[in-house]
Copies of this chain bind each other. A is one copy, B any other.
Amino acid sequence: MATIRDVARMAGVSVSTVSLVLHQPHRVSEPTTARVLQAVDALRYRPNGAARDLRIRKTHTIAVFLRDLSGPFYSELIAAVERATSALGLTLIVSGRSTDHRQGSLRLLREGRVDGAIVLDPEISWAELAAYSGPHLPVVVLNRMLPAPLESAYLTAVAVDNEGGGYLAGRHLLERGFVHPAFIAGPVGSETSQWRQQGFFRAYEEAGISPTRVAVVHSDFTEPGGIQAMDALMARRVAMDAVFAANDEMALGAMQVLTAPKSPPVRVAVMGFDDIRLARYVRPTLSTIHQPMDELGTLAMDLLARAMGGETRVPPRVLTTTLVVRESTTLLHPT
């Protein structure tokens, strides 16, 4: 690989002149510029990125941390982030964490390989994030609400109003006359799931129905998990006329067991959360709470860009959800 020095030698100028030609063309005379450019061409010179990063102390790269790239929710979100990133001319590193776990993935932050990060992995703690973020390394957390008294000025968040979304779901089921709901929650510690549950319960409480009478079963946000959870509810012979799942994937699973030919002919409404693309295709189509994924991704990148531009204490943002009524809470599994 040709270096800038080779170019300089070939063009008969100093290294600094070559660099000037490349970055501040107006500062060097016409003929010299021509000679240099010609040499660049002849030698196929390409500036070395690492060297520049080292000198400049900027990478123009951001990282996205996620648990797993698969799953429609995350993949739709990350697609939006990718679009925003490349629109800004930045490079995007995606880091799952199959093997490495903690150590390995935040390495990118530690080694200063990125100028900023977007965090989608729900298992990376706020403490860790606060520790790693800093004046030259802002972080925005996507899909989680920033705990109010968080001290770092370089950490912010964008999320959806999960509590409000849960409430919307509850109201809708109530309006349709479903008074014995069950709730399929996410993993026990999941903030997201807890907020959705809280909003959901609030709706029922307002209607005079005690949440303590709502059956709750925990699962893992996946479709097979939803199947298991629904099976468990059935096995417990819970009396219910509707089930609200903390995300669409689990709702899909639940619906599968409800519409399975062998299952008893109960009529149970199903409601999800996220509005992934699948929700429109499955039969019956799935009523759900819509998250503006595109906007979430774009906004996250937007906040990050501002923080990277030096702005400090960028305020977190909360987007609102909307109710999407489809067949699963209307027609009751017409198969």
Contact = CB atoms under 8 A, between A and B. Distances in A.
Interface in A67-125: 68-70, 72, 75-76, 78-79, 82-83, 86-87, 89, 91-100, 104, 108, 110-113
Given A92-B95, A93-B93, A95-B86, A113 B281 contact: no
A148 interface: no
Nearest to A55: B50
Nearest to A134: B1
A205 interface: no
Number of copies: 2
Contacts of A49: 108, 111-113
B91 A93 contact: yes
A89 B101 CA distance: 11
A78 B69 contact: yes
A86 to B, nearest CB: 5
Interface string A38-80: 0000000011111111100001010000001110100110110
Nearest to A46: B110
A218 interface: no
Contacts of A70: 75-76, 79
B111 A48 contact: yes
A266 interface: no
A326 interface: no
B111 A82 contact: no
Interface centre among A70, A93, A277 (most CB of B within 10 A): A70
A282 interface: yes
Contacts of A35: none
Contacts of A89: 99-100, 104
Contacts of A86: 95-100, 104
A47 B83 contact: no
Contacts of A104: 86, 89
24 contacts: A46-B111, A48-B54, A49-B111, A50-B113, A52-B111, A61-B93, A68-B79, A69-B78, A69-B79, A69-B83, A72-B72, A75-B75, A82-B96, A83-B96, A83-B98, A86-B96, A86-B97, A86-B98, A89-B104, A92-B94, A278-B281, A281-B281, A281-B283, A283-B283
Given A83-B96, A94-B94, 17 more contacts: A1-B112, A48-B111, A53-B53, A54-B54, A61-B93, A68-B79, A69-B75, A69-B83, A70-B79, A72-B277, A86-B96, A86-B97, A87-B99, A92-B93, A92-B95, A93-B94, A252-B281
